[in-house]
Amino acid sequence: MILYCGPYDLKTVNFDGAFGHFVRTAMWAYSGSKGFLQLPHLAPFSVLHYVTAEFPPTFISAGNGDPLLPQSRALADALTIQGVAVDSLFSLDYNPGLPHEYQFNLDSDAGQLALDRSLAFIKRVVAAR
């Protein structure tokens, strides 16, 4: 599994600030309801609460300027506690900070590093099977 900067626990997502509007709009689009936090059928969306040892090996990354970084780190920790093989790339020393979805900016060194690490992860997982 390869994950780049997602919301993995809706109860702890920061819906305030400049990025909050984007997250609220995206969740409204995904759910079809502005009151998405009250929809019981969206509980599984908070995957952090459903992590088990049966999850697949995971590469997870978020930039140090991404408001969703705490979400990615929490999921990586939960997977690790369950014994899931986790390869994480949390680039914390960039200034200015790496934004949401920095991994797709392949013109940057950080984007290239994320791509290289993602491909290396895929090769390792495939070779292990």
Per-residue pLDDT of 55-98, as tens digits, reads 999 999 999 999 999 999 999 999 999 999 999 999 778 999 99
The tokens for 90 are 């949390």
pLDDT given at position 42: 86
Residue type, 127: A
Integer Cα distance of 121 and 86 in angstroms? 10
Global pTM?
Answer: 0.90
What is the DSSP pairing of strand 2-4 with strand 86-91?
Answer: unpaired
Neighbour count for residue 126 (Cβ, 10 Å) = 8
